[in-house]
Amino acid sequence: MKKLLFILIISIITTGTAFPQEKVLAVGEELIYRVYFGFIRLGQVKFKLTNHYIEKGEDIYTAIAEIKSYEGIPFISLNYLFETQMSTQSKKAELYSRQFYSTEFKDKSITRIEYTFEYDKAEIKIQKETDGRIENFEKVKIENSAKYQDGLSLFYNARMQSFGNQNYNIPVYINEKESSVKYSFNMNEDVVSTDAIDYHVAVIKIAGVADFVGLFGLTGEFISWLSADEARIPIKAQFNVSIGSISLELEKYKRTGWEPPKFTN
């Protein structure tokens, strides 16, 4: 009888417990953000988690991001497509990049860069091509058994790591070189508002420092507010750039059964 009761308790506990990636990573999720410099609308960023499958005991997720600046913005002309293949093992609360593609669309050319992370060989294969012609191919050694984030997988990995108070120093491979990002979470419930959501949203805060330069000139300190629920969807963010700071706000979203959590305190 005691054994049966113990099994029943364990069954209830495990049935009600989801691993972080099961909470955060929902295939089909689409998130669209508007980018602002002050009150000036600079552009739009769209994220989509496209697929999930299991390969050699690893959970593999794929995602894309489209980054576009609006026409007529002085000194800014961006049109990028990012694609990532991410992996996690043994239900760990983290991802790492397996493959990453960055495609830049210009008026008269298309440049594509591919990173292939071969951790078993401790190397990264880097290939760059323009208009289908390979311009460069090289292999870079991976030091200290590091497992890297790319510019897109980082978006999902940080969300997965946001379920506890902890400091992180994450290896990142971006702009054809090794870098890092440091961040930590404040689990106290906070509140933000956006133009697209007609009520105050309950959030938690992530603050950190990026040691690389990203799109729109993003670098240095940043703050982001994630929904205070199991989805951990970024609602709003602020980033340093060379001319000041820019902000991102969630404009549209598609995720089965999800709405931004209301702040009730």
Q: What is the pLDDT of residues 189-208, one digit of tens each?
A: 999 999 999 999 999 999 99
Q: How far is CA 92 from CA 28, 95, 143, 201, 204, in A?
A: 22, 8, 22, 28, 21
Asked if 60 contacts 50 with a C-beta cutoff of 8 angstroms, the reply is no
Q: In this structure, are strands 133-141 and 167-174 parallel, antiparallel, or unpaired? A: unpaired
Q: Burial of 233 by CB count in 10 Å (0-12 exposed, 13-18 middle, 19+ buried)?
A: buried
Instruction: Give residue 216's pLDDT.
Output: 64
**Residue 2 in this model has a pLDDT that exceeds 50:** no
Residue 106 falls inside a structural domain: yes
pLDDT tens for 120-142 read 999 999 999 999 899 999 999 99
Domain hosting 122: range is 21-254
In-domain check, residue 12:
no
What does pTM read for this prediction? 0.89
Q: What pLDDT sits at residue 211?
A: 87
Residue 230's CB: how many other CB atoms inside 10 A?
A: 15
With cut-offs at 50, 70 and 90, classify the pLDDT of residue 10: very low
Residue 24 pLDDT greater than 70, yes or no: yes
Q: Is residue 97 in some structural domain?
A: yes
Chain mean pLDDT for the chain = 88
Classify residue 6: in a domain, yes or no. no
Alpha carbon distance 237, 247 (integer Å): 5
DSSP 77-139: --EEEEEEEEEEETT-S--EEEEEEEEEE-SS-EEEEEEEEEGGGTEEEEEEEETTEEEEEEE
102 has a pLDDT exceeding 80: yes
pLDDT of 31 reads 98
Residue 260 forms part of a structural domain = no
Rg from Cα positions in the chain: 20
Structural domains of the chain, count: 1
The DSSP symbol for 262 reads: B
Cα 6–Cα 8–Cα 10 angle in degrees, nearest 5: 70
Domain presence at residue 10: no
∠ CA 35-38-43, rounded to 5°: 20
User: Band of the pLDDT at 108, cuts 50, 70, 90?
Assistant: confident
Is 14 among the domain residues?
Answer: no
Assigned domain for 259 exists: no
Q: Which amino acid is at 19?
A: F
Q: What is the mean pLDDT of residues 101-110?
A: 93
Hey, which bits of the chain come out as E strands?
A: 30-37, 40-55, 58-69, 79-89, 96-105, 110-118, 123-130, 133-141, 167-174, 177-192, 201-210, 220-227, 234-241, 244-254
Average pLDDT over residues 100-113: 94
CATH, residue 240: 2.40.360
> Shortest CA distance to 153 belongs to which of 122, 207, 117?
117
